[in-house]
A and B are shown apart, each in its own frame.
Chain A
Amino acid sequence: MDIIISNSVDEPIYEQIVKQIKNLIINGELEEGDALPSIRNLAKELQISVITTKRAYEELERDGFINKVAGKGTFVAPQNQALLKERRLKVVEEKLAEAVNAARIINLSLGELQEMLKILYEEV
């Protein structure tokens, strides 16, 4: 499990952690029941504040991605498969929207964009 933190971007560190752990769960790298490092261990390894990692875990718990088990640790929560699929779809949607924006900037037509997508889809 890799978590890479940047100090120079504007995004708060706790959000970077939340986003990366969510992605690890959504793309299946972390599965239901997998143990996560303790907040103190994560803070030590990343050399960041304990409060920062604590906030990240609290948010992940609130959003139903992880569960704290008293005395045992923190684990990836069972994921609702339909919900997970919806989240994955949302990721695709976001990336496509990004591509559409980039296409508009250079006045690419819908047809040209579709053609490009078609080629890419068959290639990759």
Chain B
Amino acid sequence: MSAILEVDNLRKEYRDFNLNVSFSLERGYLMGFIGPNGAGKSTTIKLIMNLLKKDSGAIKVFGLDNVKNEIEIKQRIGFVYDQNYYYDELTVEEMKGIISRFYADWDDELYRSYLKIFDLDPRKKIKELSKGMQMKFSLIMALSHHAELIIMDEPTSGLDPIVRRELLQILSEILQNENKGILLSTHITSDLDKIADYITFINQGRIVETTTRDFLLENYGVVRGKKELLMQTDKGLLIGVKENEFGFEALVKDKARAREIFGDKIIIDKPTLEDIMYYQIDGKVV
């Protein structure tokens, strides 16, 4: 088991934002990097890509320092930005001509096979592509040089559900190779509810959780019950308590413990990743 990406005590401060994060990803898996807008997802990714300078800490990609070995590392990373950074007036084929020159391992045959899979016309200008098609083009650029690590910053925002599903299919196709790794940041967590192996949840520049998807979804729960129950709970059990006229709802990290305390006086639902995010962001803990 070797880490394909290690972020250790990474710090970056600017203006009133202060980032301090640690997490790592093993080869062969997909990590969802989730959090609300402004949580620090893009900053972290830019630091990994050495597009921003860190204040302190270490980032290792393929076991190599990301700054000292930037050129080698970038040859082996496929990066999908959250926005179109290509030249609008060029055709897909022309743009490919420019990008492919940067990669020693560029595989034109692979590129053409992806064009076919994605049904993308290489003669079309970038500006003529729909948002979904532009994302697919970015993805083709990221995948056609045999990258080992795919890093995607909000690839699904602005895409319709059909294209998003197609993307997830492609990602599981990539992970048929157990040496590859994928880091995907998103605030649309429903994309990750099923296929993510690991989830790293960031809020206000801090990691709230970094663990497996299974652990989160099997241990957390959304509980609902009468308000009087709020008086008889363990301290710290209920997260993000929301009260309304008819009762309360909250998140629990350990639904078995909640069942022990409240018995059948509460309802416990399976959470989604969105629930886990929502209740922890601004809720009070009881």
Contacts and interface: CB of A to CB of B under 8 A. Distances in A.
Interface string B214-242: 10011000000000000000000000000
A50 interface: yes
Given A14-B214, A55-B214, A48 B176 contact: no
Interface stretch (B52-60, B99-107, B165-173): B165-173
A49 B214 contact: yes
Given A7-B194, A10-B270, A51 B172 contact: no
Given A40-B175, A40-B176, A40-B178, A47 B214 contact: no
B214 A43 contact: no
Chain A contact residues, majority secondary structure: helix
A87 interface: no
A12 B270 CA distance: 10
B17 to A, nearest CB: 32
Contact of B176 (A8, A13, A41, A51): A41
Contact of B194 (A10, A40, A48, A55): A48
B176 A49 contact: no
Interface residues of A, number: 17
Nearest to B272: A7
Interface in A3-59: 7-8, 10, 12-14, 40-41, 43-44, 47-52, 55
14 contacts: A7-B194, A8-B270, A10-B270, A43-B195, A44-B172, A44-B173, A44-B175, A47-B172, A47-B195, A49-B194, A49-B213, A50-B28, A50-B175, A51-B214
Interface of B: 28-30, 168-169, 172-173, 175-176, 178, 193-198, 212-214, 217-218, 270
